[in-house]
A and B are shown apart, each in its own frame.
Chain A
Amino acid sequence: MSARYDAIVIGAGHNGLVAAATLARAGRKVLVVEARDHLGGMLGDKDFRVAPLPFALRPDIVKALKLDTAVIHGAPPPPVLAFGADGPPLKVRGGAVEGAETALAQAYAALHARLGRQAGALGAMLLAPPPDLGRLRPGDLGGLARMALKLRLLGKAELRDLLRIALSNVWDLLEDEIGDGPLAGLMAMDATLGGAMGPRSPGTVLTLLYRMASRSPHGHGLRVMPKGGPDALVRSIADCVKAAGGEIRTNARVEEILVENDRAAGVQLADGEQIASPLVLSNASPKVTLLELLGVSHLDGEFVRRCRSMAARGMVARLDFDAPAPPALRGGGTLASGQRLVAAPDMRAIETAFNAAKYGSLPERPVIEATYDAATARLSVSAQFAPYDLKVGWSEEAKSRLSASVLAMLDEVLPGFGATTGAARVMSPVDIEAGYGAAGGHWHHGEFRIDQLLMLRPFDGAARYRMPVAGLYLCGAGAHPGGDICGAPGFNAARAALGAKGE
Chain B
Amino acid sequence: MKYDAIIVGAGHNGLTAACFMARAGLKTLIVEKEDHVGGAAVSLSLTPGWTYSNCSYVCSLLRPEIIRALELPKHGLQVIPYEGGAVFNSKGDYFAYLSDHDALRRELIRHSPRDADGYERYARAVMRQCRFIKPLLLRTAPDPVALKPRDISELLFILKRFHNLGAREMAETVRFWTMSIAEYLDQFFETPMIKAYIAGSGIIGTGLGPYSPGTAYVLLHHYMGEVDGAIGAWGFARGGMGSITQAMARSFEASGGEIRMGSGLDRFVVRDGKVRGVVLENGDEFEAETVISGMDVRRTFIDHTDEKELPADFVRGVKRYRFRGSSGKLNIALDGMPSFTGAPKDASFLRGDLHFLDDMEEIERAYDDWKDGRWSASPYVDFLIPTQIDPTMAPPGKHYATIFVQYAPYELADGQWDDANREAFAETVISKIERHSPDFRKLIVHKEIRSPKDIEDQVGLTEGNIFQGELTFDQLLFNRPVPGYAQYRSPIKGLYMCGSSTHPGGGVMGAPGANAAREVLRDLGHRIDMGLSA
Contacts and interface: CB of A to CB of B under 8 A. Distances in A.
A203 B371 contact: no
A160 B483 contact: yes
Given A164-B479, A202-B472, A355 B166 contact: no
Interface string A159-178: 11101111111001000100
B478 interface: yes
Interface in A101-158: 132-135, 156-157
A309 B368 contact: no
Contact of A134 (B166, B174, B186, B484): B166
B172 A460 contact: yes
Contact of B473 (A167, A201, A359, A449): A167
A449 B187 CA distance: 17
Nearest to B479: A164
Interface in B182-234: 183, 186-187, 208, 211-214
Contact of A449 (B144, B178, B208, B474): B178
B411 interface: no
Given A160-B145, A201-B212, A201-B213, A456 B171 contact: yes
B444 interface: no
B167 A165 contact: no
A484 interface: no
Contact of B145 (A163, A166, A202, A359): A163
A460 B214 contact: no
Contact of A163 (B213, B322, B364, B479): B479
A282 B214 CA distance: 32
Contacts, number: 83
A133 B483 contact: no
A359 B174 contact: no
A164 B483 contact: yes
Interface in A337-376: 351, 355, 358-359
Given A167-B473, A202-B214, A456 B175 contact: yes
A449 B179 CA distance: 9
A409 interface: no
B473 A202 contact: yes
Nearest to A463: B171
B171 A460 contact: yes
Given A358-B364, A451-B174, A161 B483 contact: yes
Contact of B208 (A133, A165, A202, A455): A202
Contacts of B527: none
A163 B478 contact: yes
Interface residues of B, number: 36
A460 B473 contact: no
Interface string B298-318: 000000000000000100000
Interface string B469-485: 00011100011000110
B433 to A, nearest CB: 25
B345 interface: no
Nearest to B144: A163
Contacts of B170: 133-134
A276 interface: no
B114 interface: no
Contacts of B145: 156, 159-160, 163
A454 to B, nearest CB: 9
Given A133-B167, A159-B145, A163-B144, A203 B172 contact: no
A168 B473 contact: yes
B124 interface: no
Contacts of B171: 133, 455-456, 460-461
A42 B484 CA distance: 45
A200 interface: yes
Contacts of A159: 145
Nearest to A161: B483
A450 interface: yes
Contacts of A161: 483
Contact of A203 (B168, B186, B213, B313): B213
Contacts of B320: 176
A13 to B, nearest CB: 27
Contact of A450 (B166, B178, B368): B178
Nearest to B324: A172
B289 interface: no
B322 A358 contact: no
B448 interface: no
Contacts of B365: 359
A389 B187 CA distance: 18
A147 B144 CA distance: 15
B361 interface: yes
Given A163-B145, A172-B322, A456-B171, A200 B472 contact: no
A311 interface: yes
Interface string B143-176: 0111000000000000000000011101110110
B520 to A, nearest CB: 24
A474 interface: no
Given A172-B474, A359-B361, A163 B483 contact: yes
Interface in A74-121: none
Contact of B371 (A156, A200, A311): A200
A202 B175 CA distance: 14
Nearest to A204: B213
A163 B483 CA distance: 8
Nearest to B216: A451
A225 B364 CA distance: 40
A456 B176 CA distance: 12
A255 B211 CA distance: 36
B81 to A, nearest CB: 33
Interface in B344-375: 361, 364-365, 368, 371
B471 to A, nearest CB: 11
Contacts of B144: 163
A485 interface: no
Contacts of A355: 368
Nearest to A136: B163
Interface in B446-494: 472-474, 478-479, 483-484
A449 B208 CA distance: 17
Contacts of B472: 168-169, 202
A197 interface: yes
B285 to A, nearest CB: 36
Nearest to A168: B474
A456 B167 CA distance: 11
A358 B211 contact: yes
Interface string B421-451: 0000000000000000000000000000000
B212 A451 contact: no
Contacts of B146: 156
A119 B374 CA distance: 37
Contacts of B322: 172
Interface centre among B145, B170, B320 (most CB of A within 10 A): B145
Closest 6 CB pairs between A and B? A134-B167, A460-B171, A167-B473, A168-B474, A160-B483, A451-B175
Given A159-B145, A460-B171, 18 more contacts: A134-B167, A134-B170, A163-B144, A164-B483, A166-B473, A167-B473, A168-B474, A197-B213, A202-B178, A202-B473, A203-B214, A311-B183, A358-B211, A359-B365, A450-B178, A451-B179, A456-B174, A460-B175
24 contacts: A133-B167, A133-B171, A134-B168, A156-B146, A157-B313, A163-B144, A163-B478, A164-B479, A165-B474, A200-B212, A200-B371, A202-B178, A202-B213, A202-B472, A202-B473, A203-B213, A351-B371, A358-B211, A359-B361, A449-B213, A451-B178, A451-B213, A460-B171, A461-B168
